[in-house]
Homo-oligomer: A and B are copies of this chain.
Amino acid sequence: MEPSEIELKTLDEVLRRARLAAEETGFAGIAAAVVLDDGILAYGENQVHLDNDPTRHAEIVAISRACHSVKRPDLTGATLVSSLQPCEMCLAAMRFAGIGRLLFAARQDNVAAKYFVFPGLRLPDFERAASEGFAARGGVCEHRVLDLYADGQE
């Protein structure tokens, strides 16, 4: 897929936030956002260790906040933007939210293995297995964050 101007602008901010989060106590250097039409609905950072909750990945936080802001559990037409390829949990959450576009920087092949729990399944496997099609583009500006994901912190 070809990212739009607002999607690329959001990715730039998401990568900035990932870098900042990596320096803060309790957070980890993973950030995400939800874009709808020409606006950013919500940002999220990984809060797993801050909240003692393994489900509080950056994408889950961003999707929850975005849904609260529109007051419905549906984000049809939106794009998920993330500094790191969404794990299997976040990819499914994106689809349950009706999000049909995905833009991310660091790709699974270039980061520590621990960010994924079903490594035998890759993004193309999920694309083929999906009940409805979605568009994805990874590796954009990847060089800006790969150092954050080399050692498997989360």
Contact = CB atoms under 8 A, between A and B. Distances in A.
Interface residues of A, number: 42
A15 to B, nearest CB: 23
Interface stretch (A16-24, A126-134, A135-143): A126-134
Contacts of A116: 131
Interface of A: 48-49, 51-56, 60, 63-64, 67-68, 71-75, 87-93, 95-98, 113, 116-121, 125-126, 128-131
A97 B73 CA distance: 24
Contact of A72 (B52, B56, B117, B118): B52
A61 to B, nearest CB: 9
Contacts of A129: 118-121
